[in-house]
Structure 1
């Protein structure tokens, strides 16, 4: 049996001491280390396979989706509800759900993702994300009667995030779901990395008051000793419960019981104009991540050299796993600064920016900054290219 690996990293914000168990993936394959100017949490386990802060090939993202879907316990009673955590893990959770549905086509399952944006007049269910830079998020109640019934009659819950370090957010969301549906009898936690440690894992069922299982692509334990760096005071969220931010309910906020349709027609049109030696970046925007992955996957299947990632509202210091940072206005209109990390000007021959919000000045500036093209996804099958002025 391979011994656990111990890593010590001096961050600008403090000291990270990480012990990692042997597994199917190495630390370097899955993650790097980054620092955040955040009083609650001065570090970030920056994923190299998530498609958020680091460019990643779609095939590797799919491998992680299938790895986590394959670790969901066999025989979970249905309906099974998958919930992905905003903003970072929305694409991950949707990919895990789709991989699970592909492997278990006969199981009733529902996908939802939490959000920081309210869609229409849909009822919302709030919970807290204690360590986040933008802690207010919520679930939308499905408006379709059949999808709502899946949520209200679910027997099992699968909560998906990129990493687990305390379990508090999972607990808060689980409690909110069980108030809504007391029949939930099992909670499964699916993460790329789980650094809560063996002792914390063993008492999860006791903490949650319900049988809990957990699985990750990489597991271990960490201790972070904060340093003296002063945290940023900039806002990461301006919460207005019923403001219309241009968020679309058709891609997961209001529930899905099937995989999204890949934009194959658009991919074929784009691939025809992409040279064999040209590099492509498909860039999601904020919470709109999974359609960018699907477009990237379709281009990859056609032989394109493509990587996927997304803009983010997460403020990260330029250090460690973050070598470059671009900042710009938020295309959802909250007035919160957004970022693209680890992308340099001219790095890619083609940058395809995928967005759900209506065209606006922020999107124009994003496209101009990276030399990109804008693609507005009004639905899975209705995608319009927006002229970049």
Structure 2
């Protein structure tokens, strides 16, 4: 007889959530919490405590999750293309790709992440994340010959997101990729949690029309009954195809065959300025997540008490796993509100903000609220500190 699942029933301000956990490699409270979205399409959030997005996480814990998901990728004929979903799972996907590369040296693979910004004049394919507050997503076609050849000649896709609940976004992206590359033979879905349920997971191959596997350390299924609380209706996406948002092509949007370089020189300099008892937050901005993790990991190796997190455009209520929320302008200039959760001014002795966009008033406002230092990543290792932050 199979073991009975662990069942959780959560009364959210936005409705009633029931979750049955069938299998987990971690204690649930260590891996996730529950939050309420300000989103008419989906009023709940499985808030990851290991992703480095809405919750502060030690880099070593993030690395363990990267290795766990990379180890679950089955042996497949290459080349492999890893694609991370914007914005929440960009850092996760890049970490999984780099962990996989370390375990499979010399094998052909490409990393890309989707984006909600156009970069340069590279072609894009568009697909939809229907339940999202910002549904339009884009995948840039690599302009480099080597990277484009890997994408168009890949035999397998590895699609990475923090959780799977319906599989619809994965299917939309896989279908878009198959139009570019009809030779794709397999898809693997890498997620921290899989809440589609056993029947829906078993049906993935039929839905996708080619063999699909899924690796997740936590699995189960959920139901949600929406309640009467009305969302604010604030816009979370105002896409202008002609606007330059300051997003970079050098960190994954145009494709990478290798790990990003760790900012060791910057880490050494900052570690020397941090006292032994100081608490440090390394903060990524929006889609710019993985370089913040790499800086955090380099600081942790030097003995610094450090956690990593990122800002987000996701509107979440202050409830449950969200104890604090800051709102501030979008540093990409799209004109939508951005947020930082579970961080309060004065909570950390040092806050280092990592950003790809040029210094701007939105970044100055955030830095002023957190008494933070700004670090502009022009490349992986060419990083300039913004020396003067205007006083608000």
Q: TM-score if structure 1 supplies the norm length?
A: 0.99
Give the 5 Å matches for 1:237-316. 237-316=237-316
The residue aligned with 1:360 is 360
Distance 2:24 2:312 in 1: 29
User: SS of 2:125's equivalent?
Assistant: strand
Q: Is 1:82–2:79 an aligned residue pair? A: no
Q: Is 1:51–2:71 an aligned residue pair? A: no
Using the TM superposition, give the Cα deviation of residue 23 of structure 1 relative to its aligned residue in structure 2, in angstroms.
2.3
The residue aligned with 2:93 is 93
Distance 1:145 1:376 in 2: 28
User: SS of 2:24's equivalent?
Assistant: coil
Q: Is the 8 A contact 1:126 1:139 kept in 2?
A: yes
The residue aligned with 1:24 is 25
1:192-220 per-position Cα deviation (integer Å, ceiling 9, x unaligned): 11000000001100000110000112100
Using the TM superposition, give the Cα deviation of residue 27 of structure 1 relative to its aligned residue in structure 2, in angstroms.
1.1
Using the TM superposition, give the Cα deviation of residue 63 of structure 1 relative to its aligned residue in structure 2, in angstroms.
0.3
Deviates more, 1:289-298 or 1:33-42: 33-42
Question: What is the RMSD of the two structures over their aligned residues, measured on CA atoms?
Answer: 0.7
Distance 2:306 2:330 in 1: 25
The residue aligned with 2:194 is 194
The residue aligned with 2:11 is 10
The residue aligned with 2:216 is 216
1:34-78 per-position Cα deviation (integer Å, ceiling 9, x unaligned): 00121110000000000000000000000000000000012x110
Using the TM superposition, give the Cα deviation of residue 106 of structure 1 relative to its aligned residue in structure 2, in angstroms.
2.2
The residue aligned with 1:375 is 375
Q: Is the 8 A contact 1:185 1:211 kept in 2?
A: yes
Distance 1:343 1:39 in 2: 25
Unmatched segments (≥5 aa) in structure 2:
none
Using the TM superposition, give the Cα deviation of residue 231 of structure 1 relative to its aligned residue in structure 2, in angstroms.
1.8
Using the TM superposition, give the Cα deviation of residue 2 of structure 1 relative to its aligned residue in structure 2, in angstroms.
4.7
Distance 1:227 1:220 in 2: 23
The residue aligned with 1:206 is 206
Distance 2:271 2:279 in 1: 11
Using the TM superposition, give the Cα deviation of residue 3 of structure 1 relative to its aligned residue in structure 2, in angstroms.
3.2
1:332-360 per-position Cα deviation (integer Å, ceiling 9, x unaligned): 00110000000011110000000000010
The residue aligned with 2:144 is 144
Q: Is the 8 A contact 1:279 1:306 kept in 2?
A: yes
Q: Is the 8 A contact 1:26 1:218 kept in 2?
A: no
1:305-348 per-position Cα deviation (integer Å, ceiling 9, x unaligned): 00000000000000000000000000000110000000011110
The residue aligned with 2:155 is 155
1:78-100 per-position Cα deviation (integer Å, ceiling 9, x unaligned): 00000000000000000000000
Distance 2:356 2:38 in 1: 29
Distance 2:232 2:195 in 1: 25
Unmatched segments (≥5 aa) in structure 1:
none
Distance 1:22 1:233 in 2: 36
User: SS of 1:178's equivalent?
Assistant: helix
Distance 2:139 2:43 in 1: 27
Q: Is the 8 A contact 1:2 1:22 kept in 2?
A: no
Using the TM superposition, give the Cα deviation of residue 29 of structure 1 relative to its aligned residue in structure 2, in angstroms.
1.0
1:119-178 per-position Cα deviation (integer Å, ceiling 9, x unaligned): 111111101110000001110000110010000000000000000000000000000000
User: SS of 2:216's equivalent?
Assistant: strand
The residue aligned with 2:70 is 69
The residue aligned with 1:37 is 38
Using the TM superposition, give the Cα deviation of residue 107 of structure 1 relative to its aligned residue in structure 2, in angstroms.
1.4
* 4+ runs deviating over 3 angstroms: none
Distance 2:139 2:301 in 1: 34
Aligned length: 388
